């Protein structure tokens, strides 16, 4: 698709949007699940947009994917089986597969079109999908239903989902966290992208509280991701055994990295006071 387009905007809410100047809209279609666009941007390069929401770009994708994958994987002493729910662009799978101790990676993506488009327009991002290693198994289907069928199997579950609307809505529920806990082994860890700690404070608080009903340890950590409105993004981790505030990395970090390092492993969990107020006291400042 060669349609010329000067600007594209993600509206975070009626009062705030992030606008990027683009040179071309490369692809646009409606899948059975969502509206998919690929745009050639000037500031961040090629961008993937789902239902009007900026998902990733070639310039900053490494931040999100390194932080959702390596923080939990380095916290676990020896993760062997990993489940990725969502992650159809392939970035999370690419990072997980870099860990030699991981023997099995199951990626469960509901929208096959996202994977096809990523392989076409984002070759570096989707490298694990385009040339899957033997340990990567791709399942096209509903991750919520898939988790219900598994018990005491995975060491780490990564929920690399879009916003809690449409196909991703059911991934932000107490029932899902309960089923995820059952699917994890004794030392299992769950991580979910949990939106902006500025724009989505009530949602972040609700996720934190809901995970706490199924897991003894729940922590939120932060990363700076420019393509998301406000630039501050959160991930929430639920663990059966390991606390990121006290556990130290016992394995070498895969190299090279562009964002993650062993110091960030700890410092990402150091939260601003307004985020603590949101999580622990339900006080919303924005």
The residues, any chain, with a CB within 8 Å of residue 107's CB and separated by 6 or more, are 84, 87, 92, 93, 136, 137, 138, 139
Inform me whether the pLDDT recorded for 1 exceeds 50: no
What CATH number was assigned to the domain covering residues 61-281? 3.40.50.150
Rounded to whole angstroms, how far apart are CA atoms 154 and 79?
Answer: 8
Rounded to whole angstroms, how far apart are CA atoms 102 and 78?
Answer: 8
The residue-averaged pLDDT of 128-150 equals 96
| CATH class of residue range 7-56 | mainly beta
**Closest to 268 in 3D by CA, of 227, 233, 241:** 233
102 C-beta neighbours (distance < 10 Å), count: 21
Q: Which residues are catalytic?
A: 160
Query: CA 212, 214, 217, 218: dihedral to nearest 10 degrees?
Result: -50
E strand or H helix that includes residue 69: helix 61-75
The residues, any chain, with a CB within 8 Å of residue 149's CB and separated by 6 or more, are none
Question: Cβ distance 160 to 69 under 8 Å?
Answer: no
Q: What angle do CA 169, 54, 237 make, to 5 degrees?
A: 50
Inform me whether the pLDDT recorded for 167 exceeds 70: no
Rounded to whole angstroms, how far apart are CA atoms 154 and 238?
Answer: 14
Reported as a pLDDT band with limits 50, 70 and 90, residue 3 is low
Chain-centre distance for alpha carbon 215: 19
Token look-up 């509280």 returns 209
- In 3-state terms, what secondary structure has residue 104? strand
Reported as a pLDDT band with limits 50, 70 and 90, residue 2 is very low
Q: Which sequence spans correspond to the domains of the chain?
A: 7-56, 61-281
| pLDDT 10s digits, 22-56 | 999 999 999 999 999 999 999 999 999 999 999 99
E strand or H helix that includes residue 46: strand 46-50
Q: 190: number of CA atoms within 13 Å, CB side?
A: 31
Inform me whether the pLDDT recorded for 4 exceeds 90: no
| pLDDT 10s digits, 71-97 | 999 999 999 999 999 999 999 999 999
Rounded to whole angstroms, how far apart are CA atoms 227 and 53?
Answer: 10
Peptide bond into 256 cis (omega under 30): yes
Mean pLDDT (the chain, rounded): 95
Burial 64-87 (b: 16+ CB within 10 A, else e): bbbbbbbbbbbbbeebebbbbbbb
CA distances from 78 to 72, 81, 182, 255 (A): 11, 9, 19, 18
Q: Which of 54-58, 167-171, 219-223 has the lowest mean pLDDT?
A: 167-171
Chain-centre distance for alpha carbon 285: 25
pTM for the whole structure: 0.95
């Amino acid at each position: 698709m060669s349609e010329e387009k000067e600007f594209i905007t993600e509206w975070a809410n009626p009062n705030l949007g992030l606008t990027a100047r683009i040179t071309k809209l490369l692809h646009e279609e409606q899948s059975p699940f969502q509206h998919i666009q690929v745009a050639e941007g000037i500031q961040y390069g090629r961008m993937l947009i789902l239902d009007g929401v900026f998902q990733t770009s070639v310039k900053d994708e490494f931040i999100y994917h390194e932080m959702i994958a390596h923080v939990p994987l380095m916290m676990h002493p020896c993760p062997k089986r990993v489940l990725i729910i969502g992650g159809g662009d392939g970035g999370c799978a690419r990072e997980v597969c870099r860990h030699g101790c991981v023997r099995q990676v199951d990626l469960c993506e509901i929208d096959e079109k996202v994977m096809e488009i990523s392989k076409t327009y984002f070759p570096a991002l989707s490298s694990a999908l385009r040339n899957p290693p033997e340990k990567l198994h791709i399942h096209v289907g509903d991750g919520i239903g898939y988790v219900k069928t598994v018990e005491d199997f995975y060491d780490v579950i990564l929920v690399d989902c879009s916003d809690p609307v449409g196909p991703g809505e059911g991934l932000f529920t107490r029932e899902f966290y309960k089923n995820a806990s059952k699917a994890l082994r004794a030392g299992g860890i769950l991580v979910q992208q949990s939106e902006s700690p500025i724009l989505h404070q009530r949602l972040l608080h609700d996720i934190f509280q809901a995970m706490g009903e199924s897991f003894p340890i729940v922590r939120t950590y932060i990363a700076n991701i420019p393509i998301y409105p406000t630039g501050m993004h959160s991930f929430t981790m639920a663990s059966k055994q390991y606390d990121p505030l006290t556990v130290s990395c016992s394995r070498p970090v895969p190299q090279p990295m562009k964002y993650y390092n062993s110091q960030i492993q700890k410092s990402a969990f150091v939260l601003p006071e307004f985020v603590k107020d949101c999580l622990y006291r339900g006080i919303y400042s924005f």
